[in-house]
Structure 1
Amino acid sequence: MTESGNPSQPANVNEYAGTHIQVLEDREAVRRRPGMYIGSTGERGLHHLVYEVVSYAVDEHLAGHADAIGVTITADGGIRVVDNGRGLPVEVEEPTGKSAVELELTELSFGSKNHTGYGVSGGLTGLGLCVVNALSSRLTVEVHRAGHRWTQQYEKGIPVTPLTRHEETSEHGTTIEFLPDADIFETSRFSFATLSERFQELAFLNGGLAVSLTDERPERPVRHHHADGLRAFVARLNPYPASLVHSPSIAFESENESKTILVQVAMQWNTWSPGELHSFANSTRTREGGAHEEGFRTALTHIVNEYARRQGQLSADDEDITAGAVHEGLTAIVSVKLAHPVFEGPTRTRLRNPEADAYVQEVVREHLTDWLDNHQNEATSIVRHVLLHAPTGRRRC
């Protein structure tokens, strides 16, 4: 037997409630101009729907309430995302008379995750579930929260059933299953390889989080879980041990006192590649770079030059080693997690926050200097490698 209801709110989820939701617009804005919200109606936009749903589960992990996400490409071509977080809020919100779940799924909003519910959050738009719902021919949400299982169904962003309370349960978490609207998207076929690569990135960037992907078209499961986080990411990008300039890789992280920005870095030089820097903000790839990349490059070039002079590998008369030489053969991951990320650029993948530049520089200067001082053999090898790629007048081996 089922019943609709308004549960009492458990004390341990007060920080994540429907009162945090700020209504902006409705689903029609999304359906009229989907490209404004997900970038395109092609394959890229199609996959972005999945990333928006998964970002909510990642936020639960960052808040300390989830450690596993399961994604399934269903036999009919839809997507099912399951997490073991606290579950979306289900209380009824006044004066709307709607449940918090329904508001989250039907009103364009910054959502609770951009207010006091979360310190940092993923996704590019901050609009999340409403956009996914509006662009899906059908969507079902199942929530385990407040001692019960709750469900609601939607079609093209419109609720077709009320939020319904089912049997009692001690479980917690959210399941969202949706089928993209074929009338909106140019393609409705999800790529297993594309999703798997993104979920592996998320597992690297969020140590301790397990992200699994199953394909029912046929079944082809894969599970990503990397306790070593960014070190494991660098190891994947540097697959040739004989080419490594130093081992192990360099890795460090730091969070500021106000807990509004966390910086994580892993890096390693090799002799086979021209170098590659991958940067992320709140687990989203910042392909156009931005403040965090600029801070990393500035600090790194300064520190390598400073160390080389202290160790006599550069004399007082030698010119500084260029940034290009310092980055030659360097594989690096720079990840920042911010309370209020600001993006720019046509694809919203360039980070603007000036505090990211400043704090990344501070963290890199402190931790990399300490690493070089405590790993002198490896540090000497790194400087030698860098000098080999400097202009002829600066080479001193």
Structure 2
Amino acid sequence: MSAESTGYDAARITALEGREAIRKRPGLYIGSTTVSGLHQLVLDEVGRAVNASLAGGGRVEITLTPDGGVRLTDDGPGTPFEDCGDTGRPGLETLLTHMSAGAPEQHDRRTVFMRPRSAKPSATNAVSSRLTAEVRREGVRRVQEFARGVALAPPADAGPVTGSGTTRTFRPDPEVFDTVEYVFAALAARLAELAFLNPGLDLVLTDERSPDGPQRARFRFPGGVREFVTFLDAQAGERFVADVIAFEREDPRMAGSMEVAVSWSGTHEERVRGFVNSMATHNGGTHETGLREGIAAAVDAYARAHGLLTAADPALRADHVGANLTAVVSVKLDDPELTDCTRRTLGNTAVRACVAEAVREHLGAWLEEHPREAEEAVSRILRAPGRG
């Protein structure tokens, strides 16, 4: 087929760059223009604010404003003011207007793992009808305003200030998004996850849109994944095993650390939640496989030692331990490897054995120390349908 017959040749190729490209094809940069994409845009900005905050005091405030905007304030070090050598423009302006600006996202265990293809600050700016950035750094407060990705003026000094951090206020553009109405509960659910997975973090979500007054929720969980499992169990019903078995372990073999919490509730459902660097792994992975294998090994060893299984009985498999199980396994890795097309499956091979070993040891010790609860939990697992 020739170019003449299709009507397609080099003259029809249009090169779009920068904000023009983002606004023309927003889905390529922000994932979606639906309410899901609107929420994800906010959560991408929350992730950046949390990463900045974890380097400071660990507090981020998120406010849904009456005009349809979002205001995020963190107590991190603040964006540098100095001019960027590549652009000759202030660092703040470069970050918010150039797609390639800024150091690569740090995806090690010290930070929240941004979703794959997360929107860069410049993309957020480009799809916002208005964005105002305020930076508090080195005793000075500076402010810069943008409209649909274009700086309206250079950064302006706004007087002295104590402390440091960044406040970014933006209004997603209704010309880009199908809707600009946020759902408070949807944002709150993700913020709660972040707070459970980062015990030092303090997140505050405020909704100022209602004429009846602001709605406010604070997320701070010093108990970490232990509190997470308690929260999940509260939604499902009472536990028949009173304790939540929880532990943390650093393991150089997987270049990272793990936090695990396990309990058994009165339901027959399995509720296992897996995370890598605070990002949900909806399709599982080696950390969840290791969790189940560790539980199976600990329960099998206890059952044989106490006469609940005989030498003739087959070994308990990982797929036998799900009934009644509530668990959270959170790993934080220096070099997380995500597989499959969704990038939501953890693939680090060393994690499987490390998590399985740690779970087997900690759960095995707990079972021996709590014989009454151990017998009930193990007996229920052995009686679960499908085993044999």
Give TM class, smaller chain: 0.7 to 0.9
Judged with a 3 Å threshold, the aligned counterparts in structure 2 of structure 1 residues 177 and 241 are, in CA distance, closer, same or farther, namely: closer
Output the amino acid matched with 1:92.
D
> Which stretch shows the higher mean deviation, 269-278 or 105-114?
105-114
Query: Which of 135, 142, 148 is residue 156 of structure 1 equivalent to?
Result: 148
Matched residue, 2:31: 39
Runs of 4+ in 1 over 6 A off after TM superposition: none
> Which stretch shows the higher mean deviation, 308-317 or 101-110?
101-110
Matched residue, 1:17: none
Matched residue, 2:130: 138
Identity of counterpart residues, as a percentage?
39
Whether the 8 Å CA contact 2:196–2:228 is kept in 1: the answer is: yes
Matched residue, 1:84: 75
Partners of 2:276 and 2:40 lie apart in 1 by 16
Matched residue, 1:13: none
Whether the 8 Å CA contact 2:130–2:146 is kept in 1: the answer is: yes
Whether the 8 Å CA contact 2:108–2:336 is kept in 1: the answer is: no
SS at match of 1:357: helix
Partners of 1:331 and 1:95 lie apart in 2 by 51
Judged with a 3 Å threshold, the aligned counterparts in structure 2 of structure 1 residues 100 and 296 are, in CA distance, closer, same or farther, namely: farther
Count of matched residue positions in the alignment of Structure 1 and Structure 2:
368
Q: CA deviation at 1:243?
A: 3.8
Q: CA deviation at 1:169?
A: 1.6
Partners of 2:300 and 2:172 lie apart in 1 by 52
Output the amino acid matched with 1:203.
A
Q: CA deviation at 1:270?
A: 1.2
Whether the 8 Å CA contact 1:231–1:266 is kept in 2: the answer is: yes
Matched residue, 2:295: 300
CA RMSD, 1 decimal: 2.6
SS at match of 1:98: coil
Judged with a 3 Å threshold, the aligned counterparts in structure 2 of structure 1 residues 157 and 325 are, in CA distance, closer, same or farther, namely: same
Q: CA deviation at 1:353?
A: 2.9
Partners of 2:354 and 2:90 lie apart in 1 by 40
Q: CA deviation at 1:28?
A: 4.0
Q: TM-score, normalised by structure 1?
A: 0.84
> Which stretch shows the higher mean deviation, 81-90 or 127-136?
127-136
Output the amino acid matched with 2:47.
S
Partners of 1:305 and 1:340 lie apart in 2 by 33
Matched residue, 1:357: 352
Partners of 1:308 and 1:366 lie apart in 2 by 15
Deviations 1:115-151 (A, max 9, x none): 5998433211355422322221211111111211111
Query: Which of 317, 331, 336 is residue 336 of structure 1 equivalent to?
Result: 331
Query: Which of 107, 122, 132 is residue 113 of structure 2 equivalent to?
Result: 122
Matched residue, 1:66: 57
Deviations 1:74-110 (A, max 9, x none): 0011111111122222222213212222232223348
Judged with a 3 Å threshold, the aligned counterparts in structure 2 of structure 1 residues 117 and 374 are, in CA distance, closer, same or farther, namely: closer
Output the amino acid matched with 2:45.
V
Output the amino acid matched with 1:103.
T
Partners of 1:320 and 1:259 lie apart in 2 by 27
Matched residue, 2:239: 244
- 1:318 matched to 2:310: no
Whether the 8 Å CA contact 1:289–1:351 is kept in 2: the answer is: yes
Q: Which has the larger radius of gyration?
A: 2
Matched residue, 1:287: 282
Partners of 1:117 and 1:94 lie apart in 2 by 27
SS at match of 1:377: helix
Whether the 8 Å CA contact 2:254–2:354 is kept in 1: the answer is: no
Query: Which of 335, 353, 374 is residue 379 of structure 1 equivalent to?
Result: 374
1:147-296 alignment runs, 5 A limit: 147-218=139-210, 219-239=214-234, 243-257=238-252, 260-296=255-291
Partners of 2:253 and 2:93 lie apart in 1 by 33
Unaligned runs of 5+ in 2: 1-16
